[in-house]
Amino acid sequence: MSDPTSQAASSPRGRVPDPTTQAVSTPRSRRAEQAAADRQRTAPGNSAATTEANAADEGVLTDKSSRIASAHRLLRKPRRVEAGEFLAEGVQAVSEAIAAELREPGTVKELYVTKDAAAKNVELVRAAFAARIEVTQVTDRAAAALSDTVSPQGLVARCAMRLAELDDVIAASPKLLAVLVETNDPGNAGTIIRLADAAGADAVVFAGESVDPFNPKAVRASTGSLFHLPVARAADVGMLLMELAEAGLSVLATTGGDQAKVDLDKATDDGILDLPTAWLFGSEAHGLPAEVIAAADESINVPIYGAAESLNLATAAAICLYASARAQRHDRPES
C-alpha cells in the first residue's frame, strides 16, 4: 500500500486520499462553494439518490454496495458470530483499533470513512494508512447504515472478533478480574470493560448468558478499552467459579441488603481485598443468582451513607474494582 500523500492526485476508486494534500479553501471560496452546493441541492430533479449514484460512479461506496450491506449485517450478533468480525465506530474506538493493529496485525480488516470525517481526522487516517489498513471512502448514507446511533460519526472500523481463552486468562496468574454473570445491558457491559481497564484489571470474563461484548452499544461504551485487555467467555458459571477458586482467586460476589455478609469498608479493613480477586457482577435488574452468591468466598455490598435506594451496576463495579486496585497497590501500615 502506497503512502496516502502520493495518492491525492489520482487516488484509486473509493480510496481515501490524504486530506492534508488537498487545496486549502479561503473563506471567500468556501462561501462560493456553499452557494454552488445550495444551488445544486435545490435544482429540479436533484435528490439524495442522485447524489448516491454520482458517488458510486466515483468509486465511493454507497449504502447500496454489497460490501456495505455485508458490513451492515455485523450489527447483529448471529452475523458477528458467523463472520468473526464486529464494527467499532467513532474516533476513540477507531484510534484504539488502529493501535491494536500495530500490536496484533489483522485486528482491523477495513476502515470506512466519509469525506468529511477524513478531513476532520487527518492524523487518524494517516495512522490507518501507516498501519497498512484498507481505507475506504463511503457516503454519509453508507456510514449511517454501519451505525446504530442517531448521529453517525462517519468513521467505522471492521475488526476481527478476538476473544481470549479462559484457560490463558487463568494461567496468567491474574490479580484482578471483573466477571459479568448474566449481565444483559450492553451499555453497562461496555462501561465495566472500560472501568476494568482503568482500574488495571487483568481481564473481563462474560459468564453464562451475558450480553455479547461486541454488541455495538457495548463497544461504544468501552471507548476503546475492548482493545486493551483480554475479554473471555465462560458458558458454565458453576465451572467458572470452581476454576477461579482452584487458581487461588478470592471470589467476591457483589450484592445488597441482607444477602451480604460484609460491607466493602470492612472487607478493605480486614485485608480481604489485598488478595488476588475475581469480582462477580450480575444484572442491573436482578443482581447475581442466589446460587452464585452462595458459591462465592464472600458476599459484599457497597455501603450507602445517604438516602439513595441503590447504586447502578456500573457505579458499584467502579467502586469495587478501584477498592481492590488500591488495596493491591498500597502497603498496609503496620499496626
**Are residue 193 and residue 132 in the same domain, yes or no?**
no
Checking if the pLDDT of 83 tops 90, the result is yes
What is the structure's pLDDT at 310? 83
Q: Pick the last residue of a domain from 105, 136, 160.
A: 160
* Domain contains 325: yes
Q: Mean of the pLDDT values across residues 91-117? A: 97
**Are residue 145 and residue 190 in the same domain, yes or no?**
no
**Are residue 303 and residue 175 in the same domain, yes or no?**
yes
Specify the residue for cell string 492534508.
20
Q: Mean of the pLDDT values across residues 122-137? A: 97
Cα–Cα distance, 264 to 299 (Å, whole number) = 10
Specify the residue for cell string 436533484.
46
Checking if the pLDDT of 95 tops 70, the result is yes
Give Cα 51 distance to the centre of its chain: 32
Checking if the pLDDT of 131 tops 50, the result is yes
Residues facing residue 262 across a β-bridge: 300
Looking up residue 77, the CATH number of its domain turns out to be 3.30.1330.30
Amino acid residing at 292 = V
* Domain contains 186: yes
Checking if the pLDDT of 283 tops 80, the result is yes
Cα–Cα distance, 301 to 261 (Å, whole number) = 8
Looking up residue 276, the CATH number of its domain turns out to be 3.40.1280.10
Distances (CA, A) of 296 to 5, 168, 286, 326: 57, 22, 17, 22
What is the structure's pLDDT at 51? 52
What is the structure's pLDDT at 16? 62
Q: Give the chain's end-to-end CA distance (angstroms, integer).
A: 63
**Are residue 235 and residue 286 in the same domain, yes or no?**
yes
* Domain contains 117: yes
Nearest to 287 by CA among 323, 261, 266, 259: 259
Checking if the pLDDT of 14 tops 60, the result is no
Structure confidence at residue 34 as a pLDDT band (50, 70, 90): very low
What is the structure's pLDDT at 52? 55
Q: What is the DSSP string of 203-264?
A: EEEEETTPPPTTSHHHHHHHTTGGGTS-EEEES-HHHHHHHHHHTT-EEEEE--GGG-SEEH
Please check whether residue 107 is in contact with residue 227, taking contact to mean a CB–CB distance below 8 angstroms: yes
What is the structure's pLDDT at 298? 93
Q: Pick the last residue of a domain from 160, 185, 215.
A: 160
Nearest to 168 by CA among 198, 203, 194: 203
**Are residue 179 and residue 151 in the same domain, yes or no?**
no
Grid cell of 14 as nine digits? 473509493
Report pLDDT digits (tens) over 286-304. Answer: 889 999 999 999 999 998 8
* Domain contains 335: no
Q: Pick the last residue of a domain from 139, 160, 181.
A: 160
How many domains does the chain divide into?
2
For the CA atoms of the chain, what is the radius of gyration? 24
Lowest mean pLDDT among 24-28, 201-205, 245-249: 24-28
**Are residue 122 and residue 196 in the same domain, yes or no?**
no
Lowest mean pLDDT among 6-10, 121-125, 196-200, 256-260: 6-10
Q: pTM value?
A: 0.82
Lowest mean pLDDT among 53-67, 73-87, 202-216: 53-67
Residue span of the structural domain in which 48 resides: 4-160
* Domain contains 8: yes
Instruction: Give the three-state DSSP class for 327.
Output: helix
* Domain contains 35: yes
Please check whether residue 142 is in contact with residue 48, taking contact to mean a CB–CB distance below 8 angstroms: no
Instruction: Give the three-state DSSP class for 177.
Output: strand
Q: Mean of the pLDDT values across residues 102-130? A: 97
Cα–Cα distance, 15 to 190 (Å, whole number) = 32
Lowest mean pLDDT among 50-64, 130-144, 286-300: 50-64
Report pLDDT digits (tens) over 237-273. Answer: 999 999 999 999 999 999 876 777 888 999 999 999 9
Amino acid residing at 253 = A
Report pLDDT digits (tens) over 205-224. Answer: 999 999 999 999 999 999 99
**Are residue 89 and residue 195 in the same domain, yes or no?**
no
